[in-house]
């Protein structure tokens, strides 16, 4: 046992945590599994039921809670008021229906099978209906799907659930204190309204001008300190107002997301978020007692299976009602099927602990933690299943896409190739309600893009007979995301004759290729931006008459999503470089 001087125990715990984080990240990158799994397992090993290196202290709990606070701030940076309106069907339709149905089912189980009273059953039911923001966001980043259609839907659901969690905590506290529920909920709604209004006013008239003046000094450290201050002050203010730390952090992120300095703030605060979020997963793992799990394994596994099965079934039903494709339903259901970190808070409240047996609560907490642990593995299975379903969509994607073109405000854009460039262009067009027709001849790229939520047809774009089936006759512009000059030269006379007024764009690699395509009358752009294809996307949006302000907002979103995926990309690039050097 290590003997330490009085007063430095927290420092020793911090050393254990940092060392654990380093070893876990390194190991997970080598064996290519999600770091979430590693952190959860590490929590079991160093927690009070393992080596007892991590003690259950208020400081550790606070730091873990701050991980979720910074995560909600980061989501707020991505989720501006404009993006909330864009995703309104998911945010105000799909998500509420899922929470309602899951809450009813889980509440009924708690009431009829475990004998909980109506209020306690409702609290348990709603807490189990929520998904883990921390787990889902991390998995999306690992898959580089944060900015994809699938990722946007998942985030919209999580944002609604996080707001619902605030009112759940208020409801639970009111029941415990014996207050007037109607008055408390009304008070919470009004407080939330005024909190949103206050944050918006302060952000617009105080924070934005202050950040503009700070930008003159070109000092990133100023933004780091300022961002930390704003996150913590806003979180504490909403907590003191009787709401929650996470709601304040989310609102602060949304307000900051409306400023031109969003990407800079995200870059500066990302290390804090990543470190604290890792600590959160470690503390979740530390809650698991391996000995107790072994003795009650059957009950806990059954609880976990019921939890995941109910949520998968409800998500599948709701997504089906909202017209989502089967491959998207598969990925979204398993991505959002785990329990939530908020459930740990709710299940530890006196109103629950006094009404439910301690043994049953510990089993339920273990089942929720195990569902988080299982999610990365379930997503591997779901991804493969989704890709298999995509193989059956080759004949239907064209028709479903063509139907969306009828009555559209803009004529569609024909995208040839769904590599990184093609996906960037598709996101730009979809964000601004401009339809697109995409075709991909590479089977693996087609399957991957379709699984990520993009609408793509599988086929050879050089076959002009295929164009009519795609609806290219309605297209306003053509983009060659994966240009092949030898094919373009052959088709150029025919394309000029059939579509003389259609502008064509090409993503080229160098000046030599640009000169070749320029001679064919094609507008060329070097795809060196971040993300790739940004230059063509901006040019298209300009040609469609989209305002500079809206284009800049979209570019900020893309840069933020790119930063979200930087860590796994950087590791892979380092591994590739090392392999090249060794060779």
Q: Any idea where the domains of the chain sit in the sequence? A: 9-390, 397-546
**CATH dotted code for 397-546:** 3.40.50.720
User: CA nearest 448: which of 471, 472, 422, 429?
Assistant: 422
Distance of CA 416 to CAs 151, 392, 437, 558, Å? 23, 21, 8, 21
Answer yes or no: are the C-beta atoms of 97 and 318 closer than 8 Å.
yes
Tell me, what's the pLDDT at 106?
A: 95
- Confidence check: pLDDT of 398 > 50: no
Give the pLDDT band (50/70/90) at residue 570.
very low
Between residues 106 and 147, the one the model is more confident about: 106
SS (H, E, C) 243-300: CCHHHHHHHHHHHHCCCCCHHHHHHHHHHHHHHHHHHHHHHHHHCCCHHHHHHCHHHH
What average pLDDT does this structure show over 246-252?
80
Cα four-point dihedral sign 445, 447, 452, 457: positive
Q: State how far the Cα of 65 lies from the Cα of 62, in Å rounded to an integer.
A: 5
Name the more confident of 16 and 3.
16
Higher pLDDT, 107 or 49: 107
Q: What confidence tier does 56 reach under pLDDT thresholds 50, 70, 90?
A: low
Start-to-end CA distance of the chain, whole Å, equals: 46
- Under DSSP, the state recorded for 457 is E
Residues 528 and 507: their CA atoms lie apart, in Å, by: 9
Q: Tell me, what's the pLDDT at 184? A: 66
Beta bridge partners of 526: 508
- What pLDDT is stored for residue 98 in this prediction? 95
In this prediction, residue 107 carries a pLDDT of 93
Confidence of residue 277 (pLDDT cuts 50, 70, 90): confident
Mean pLDDT computed over 481-496: 87
The fraction of the chain above a pLDDT of 70, given in percent, is 85
Reply yes or no: is the peptide bond before residue 531 cis, omega within 30 of 0: yes
pLDDT grade, residue 566 (50/70/90)?
A: low
* pLDDT score at 564: 61
| CATH code, 9-390 | 1.20.1530.20
Provide the pLDDT for residue 185. Answer: 66
CB-hemisphere CA count at 13 Å for 19?
Answer: 9
Among 229-233, 295-299, 400-404, which is the least confidently predicted range? 400-404
Q: What is the DSSP letter of 413?
A: E
Question: With 90 as the cut, is the pLDDT of residue 105 above it?
Answer: yes
> In the predicted model, what is the mean pLDDT of residues 564-581?
45
**CA gap 352, 124 in Å, rounded:** 8
161-175 residue pLDDT tens: 877 887 787 777 766
Q: What is the pLDDT of residue 108?
A: 94
Q: What is the pLDDT of residue 10?
A: 67
pLDDT at 1: 44
pLDDT in tens, 124-140: 999 999 998 878 887 88
User: Among 42-51, 71-80, 445-454, which is the least confidently predicted range?
Assistant: 71-80
Segment 147-159, tens digit of pLDDT: 777 888 898 898 8
Render pLDDT for 466-481 as a digit per residue (tens, 0 to 9). Answer: 776 677 777 888 999 8
Confidence at residue 568, expressed as pLDDT on a 0 to 100 scale: 46
Indicate if the pLDDT at residue 483 is higher than 80: yes
Residue 316: band (very low, low, confident or very high) from pLDDT cuts 50, 70, 90: very high
Average pLDDT (232-245) is: 80
CA dihedral 202, 204, 206, 211 (to 10 degrees): 130
* Residue 44: partners with Cβ closer than 8 Å, 6 or more residues away: 50, 285, 286, 288, 290
Give the pLDDT band (50/70/90) at residue 115.
Answer: confident
Average pLDDT over all residues of the chain: 79
Encoded tokens for 277: 């979020």
Confidence (pLDDT) at 314:
96
Task: Enter the pTM of the model.
Answer: 0.69
């Amino acid at each position: 046992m290590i003997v330490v001087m009085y007063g430095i125990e927290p420092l020793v715990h911090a050393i254990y945590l940092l060392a654990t984080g380093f070893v876990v990240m390194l190991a997970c990158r080598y064996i290519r599994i999600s770091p979430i799994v590693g952190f959860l397992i590490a929590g079991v090993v160093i927690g009070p039921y393992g080596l007892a290196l991590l003690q259950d202290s208020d400081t550790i709990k606070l730091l873990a809670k701050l991980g979720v606070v910074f995560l909600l701030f980061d989501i707020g940076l991505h989720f501006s008021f404009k993006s909330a309106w864009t995703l309104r069907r998911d945010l105000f339709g799909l998500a509420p229906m899922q929470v309602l149905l899951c809450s009813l089912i889980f509440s009924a189980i708690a009431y009829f099978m475990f004998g909980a009273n109506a209020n306690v059953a409702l609290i348990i039911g709603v807490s189990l209906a929520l998904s883990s923001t921390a787990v889902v966001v991390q998995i999306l980043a690992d898959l580089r799907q944060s900015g994809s259609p699938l990722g946007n839907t998942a985030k919209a659901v999580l944002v609604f659930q996080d707001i619902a969690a605030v009112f759940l905590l208020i409801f639970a506290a009111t029941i415990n204190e014996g207050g007037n529920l109607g008055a408390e909920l009304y008070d919470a709604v009004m407080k939330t309204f005024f909190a949103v209004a206050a944050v918006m006013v302060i952000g617009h008239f105080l924070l934005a001008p202050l950040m503009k003046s700070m930008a003159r000094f070109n000092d990133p450290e100023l933004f780091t300190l300022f961002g930390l201050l704003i996150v913590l002050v806003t979180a504490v203010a909403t907590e003191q107002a009787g709401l929650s730390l996470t709601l304040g952090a989310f609102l602060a992120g949304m307000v900051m997301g409306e400023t031109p300095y969003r990407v800079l703030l995200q870059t500066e605060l990302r290390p804090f978020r990543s470190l604290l979020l890792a600590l959160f997963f470690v503390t979740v793992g530390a809650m698991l007692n391996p000995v107790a799990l072994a003795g009650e394994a059957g009950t806990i596994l059954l609880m976990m299976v019921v939890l995941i099965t109910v949520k998968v079934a409800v998500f599948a039903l709701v997504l089906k009602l909202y017209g989502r494709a089967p491959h998207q339903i598969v990925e979204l259901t398993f991505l959002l099927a785990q329990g939530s970190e908020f459930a740990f808070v709710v299940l530890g409240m006196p109103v629950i602990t006094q009404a439910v047996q301690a043994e049953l609560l510990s089993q339920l907490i273990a089942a929720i933690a195990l569902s988080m642990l299982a999610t990365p593995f379930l997503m591997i299975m779901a991804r493969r299943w989704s890709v298999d379903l995509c193989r059956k969509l080759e004949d239907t994607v064209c028709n479903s896409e063509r139907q969306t073109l009828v009555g559209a405000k803009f004529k569609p854009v024909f995208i040839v190739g769904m590599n990184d460039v093609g996906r960037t262009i598709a996101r730009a067009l979809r964000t601004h309600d401009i339809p697109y027709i995409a075709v991909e001849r590479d089977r693996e790229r087609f399957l991957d893009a379709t699984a990520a939520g993009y609408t793509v047809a599988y086929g050879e774009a050089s076959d002009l007979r295929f164009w009519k089936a795609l609806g290219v006759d309605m297209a306003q512009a053509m983009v060659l995301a994966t240009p092949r000059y030898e094919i373009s030269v052959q088709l150029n006379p025919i394309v000029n004759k059939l579509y003389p007024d259609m502008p064509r764009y090409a993503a080229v690699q160098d000046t030599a290729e640009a000169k070749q395509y320029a001679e064919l009358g094609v507008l060329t752009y070097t795809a060196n931006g971040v993300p790739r294809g940004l230059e063509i996307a901006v040019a298209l949006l300009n040609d469609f008459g989209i305002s500079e302000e809206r284009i800049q907002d979209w570019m900020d979103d893309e840069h933020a999503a790119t930063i979200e995926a930087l860590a796994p990309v950087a590791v892979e690039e380092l591994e590739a470089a090392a392999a090249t050097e060794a060779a």
